[in-house]
Structures are given as C-alpha cells and as structure tokens.
Structure 1
Amino acid sequence: CECEFSSNLSEFEKINEENFNTFLNLAFDLLSQEKKIYLKDKNGIYEFSLFKNEFIGDFLLPCDIKAINSVFVCSNENLKLLASLEKPLMKL
C-alpha cells in the first residue's frame, strides 16, 4: 500500500518503513494540538482530525464510499414496496 503523509496539504511525503515511526509521532503531536493531518493514496486524500465535542451520533462507521452499495443491499421487490409506500406521500 503506497500512502503519503502531509500536515498542510501542500507537500506530501511517501510513508515507508524508515520514516513510519517519525510520521506516527508527528501525527500524534499534530492531532494532540487539535490540528489536521492528511493521508493520500490511490483513492484520494483523506483528512483526519479529532472531534471537538461536536459529534452527536451514537456511533461512527468508517467505510470506503465506493463500497457503500454493498453495505445497503435492497432487492427489486423491496424497492417496489418502498416506492409504493413513498409514492402516496409525494406531491406530483
């Protein structure tokens, strides 16, 4: 897995065995100071930060947005049933 690390989005550095612990310590220090860190891989750039008492959900589920279709599976019969329930509520 090729991954790159950045603390400011302007310059990314590749993570390897030699610099892994350095970036791990830097990430810990930055997050402790309530700053953001960024990781980049072949799928895009990910921003990480700590919650500041603003998360009001019951749980957090991290996932790859491309895999969301496999998380919520619905058959054609279920879609038709849902459409028949929703249609009377819609104004045409």
Structure 2
Amino acid sequence: MTSAYTAYARAFLLTDHRARWVVTETFDILWLCWSSAASSENIRRYAWHLLRSRVMARAHRDAEDRPDLRRGLLHGGSLHRSPG
C-alpha cells in the first residue's frame, strides 16, 4: 500500500518528501493503534481514513478552506509533460 498511499498524498502535498512523511506517520499511528484497527469492521478502510485525515490536515487550502487541488494539478502536469 505504500506506493498507492504515497501517490495519493503527493497529489495533495506536492512533494515526494511531504508525501512520504505523511505515509510514514500514518503507518506509525496505525501500528500504535493496531488493536483498534484490527478489531474494526474493515481494516483497509480504517487505514485509508487515517491516511486521508493526515493528508487533509496538511493539504494546501483555498480561500474557502477547502483542499486546493489546482496546485497539485498544475504541479503534477509540469512533472509529466513530454519534452519537445
């Protein structure tokens, strides 16, 4: 799940460093509360909600305090543009 989680986090947080940091933090928290996670109805959903909450806490916000996806799209678009 690390690569999928990191790709999701990168879309909001814009850098590999920030994305990896949040994913590592998520796995650390998951490990610390493993008994709650393991006893949840759906452990994958539990982990996903934990990751999403950590990403959203750090995502850039627009003037209305919503996650600003435009920055990620612009940033990501420049990374994947083909030469020439």
Give the structure-2-normalised TM-score.
0.26
- Greater percentage in strand: 1
Give the structure-1-normalised TM-score.
0.24
- Greater percentage in helix: 2
Larger radius of gyration: 1
